[in-house]
Amino acid sequence: MKFGNFLFPESRDPAHDGAVLDDTLREAALSDQLGLDAIWLSEHHFDGNSVYADPLMFAAALAMLTKRVQLGFAVIQTSLYHPMHLAEQLSLLDHLSKGRLLVGLGRGTFFNIYEYEGFGLDPDEAQARFEEIETILLKAWTQDGFEHRGKFWDLRVHGLRPRPYTRPHPEIYRSSSSEESLLRLGRQGRLILINATSNEITRKRVDIYRRGLREAGMSEAAIAAQVAKIWVWRTIYVGESDAEAEAVGRPAFVKMIEFRGALRQEIRRQRGVILSPDRGPGLEGFICGSPATVAENLAELADVGIAGALMQFRLGSVPYAMTAASLERFAAKVVPELG
């Protein structure tokens, strides 16, 4: 199984944003030095929950800073973009990274109304915008020139420059959390990312995805190969012992989850507006313990047959030193147990 660091840096005070950005660059460099397989980026706006906000610009910095890790998006809030600008940015990033991109696309947040409001978009249009943008991306990456007439964009494109480094284009992943979407994406043969949950639920979701692949007519060998490209989100703290991890890591994780929902709930109190009230950030998918405990949990996850775990090591606003220590213990004491 592969291991990725999901950089999801939180800043609770605008005055500290720059320092958190510096720490995040240090964490990325350390991940590359320690031999992790990938670095993943999130996207959130206006709340400090993912302080770099623009994952595409941040990925360009990481493409220059790192040498070997893959660079993934989990996920780009696709509906917030102009399709041709996004096609150009991703193609350029593919060149800067020399083909290290893993392009995770999503419609946009299910939770935060203020992210759509800040870009002047109707959240009810997000899915339709997303689907049309992906269609345009694929045209731009694979055709010398094209015209597009759609619901949101009418385009006449004479040819994308630069074309992607990866031919025909970087692999595209879709995020998925519901059983319905897993089955649909399986039937379409799409690559997927699975959100944070327990190992038991992850196994059930992968089984649903496998069912969709079978219904699409895939052979068992092809199904296994497709499942072996799935990445699953986990949040992680590796302590010296189980007791230390529970005493230090778990409270930090809980505070992080509370902060992620704070502005969402404030807007609900002020204006009575909220998106997906049943789908807010939860406490699932946290691996916390000694190196032995963490290795045992990840070995169980590896048994599902997936590609890897994209793991968030930084727990909210904890000091960089705490994050680095957890990451270094993981590389030195957990990875060898799973090799």
Asked whether residue 278 is assigned to any structural domain, the reply reads no
pLDDT in tens, 79-97: 999 999 999 999 999 999 9
Asked whether residue 264 is assigned to any structural domain, the reply reads no
Asked whether residue 207 is assigned to any structural domain, the reply reads yes
Name the domain count of the chain.
1
Asked whether residue 273 is assigned to any structural domain, the reply reads no
pLDDT in tens, 227-286: 999 999 999 999 999 999 999 999 999 999 999 999 999 999 999 999 998 877 789 999
Strand ranges for 30-143 from DSSP E: 38-41, 70-73, 76-77, 101-106
- For CA atoms 170, 175, 179, 181, the dihedral sign is negative
Side-chain-side CA neighbours of 202 within 13 Å: the count stands at 29
**Burial class, 14, CB count within 10 angstroms (exposed 0-12 / middle 13-18 / buried 19+):** exposed
How is residue 67 written in tokens?
């040498």
pLDDT, position 171: 97
Q: pLDDT confidence of 168, banded at 50, 70, 90?
A: very high
Q: For 6-24, what is the mean pLDDT?
A: 98
Q: Which residues lie closer than 8 Å to 228 by C-beta, 6 or more apart?
A: 305, 306, 307
CATH number, domain of 63, equals 3.20.20.30
pLDDT, position 280: 76
DSSP class per residue in 162-226: SPPSSSS---EEEEE-SHHHHHHHHHTT-EEEE-S--HHHHHHHHHHHHHHHHHTT--HHHHHHH
CB 142 within 8 A of CB 167: no
Q: pLDDT confidence of 72, banded at 50, 70, 90?
A: very high
Asked whether residue 269 is assigned to any structural domain, the reply reads no
pLDDT, position 18: 98
Q: For 51-65, what is the mean pLDDT?
A: 98
- What range defines the domain where residue 132 resides? 2-257+283-338
Residue 140: other Cβ atoms inside 10 A: 25
Strand ranges for the chain from DSSP E: 2-7, 38-41, 70-73, 76-77, 101-106, 146-149, 154-157, 172-176, 191-194, 231-238, 286-289, 308-312
Checking if the pLDDT of 204 tops 80, the result is yes
Q: For 154-158, what is the mean pLDDT?
A: 98
pLDDT, position 57: 98
Biggest CA-to-CA distance, the chain? 61
Instruction: Mark 234-261 as b/e (b = at least 16 C-beta within 10 Å).
Output: bbbbbbeeeeebbebbbebbebbbebbb
Asked whether residue 55 is assigned to any structural domain, the reply reads yes
Asked whether residue 268 is assigned to any structural domain, the reply reads no
Tell me the residue type at 55.
P
Give the C-alpha separation, 284 to 14, whole Å: 28
Kind of pairing between the strands at 70-73 and 76-77: unpaired
Distances (CA, A) of 337 to 32, 51, 75, 200, 287: 20, 33, 30, 21, 16
* Per-residue DSSP letter, 334: I
Q: What's the helix, strand, coil split of the chain in %, to 5?
A: 50, 15, 35
pLDDT more than 90, % of the chain: 96
pLDDT more than 70, % of the chain: 100
Distance of CA 178 to the CA centre of its chain: 16
Kind of pairing between the strands at 38-41 and 2-7: parallel
Backbone dihedral angles phi then psi of residue 82, each to the nearest 5 degrees: -80, 135
Question: Which one, of 315, 337, 321, lies nearest residue 7 by Cα?
Answer: 315
Checking if the pLDDT of 9 tops 90, the result is yes
Checking if the pLDDT of 177 tops 90, the result is no
pLDDT, position 257: 96
Backbone dihedral angles phi then psi of residue 278, each to the nearest 5 degrees: -95, 5
Asked whether residue 307 is assigned to any structural domain, the reply reads yes
pLDDT in tens, 129-155: 999 999 999 999 999 999 999 999 999
For the chain, give the mean pLDDT: 97
Checking if the pLDDT of 178 tops 90, the result is no
Please tell me the pTM assigned to this model: 0.97
Count the residues in the chain. Answer: 339
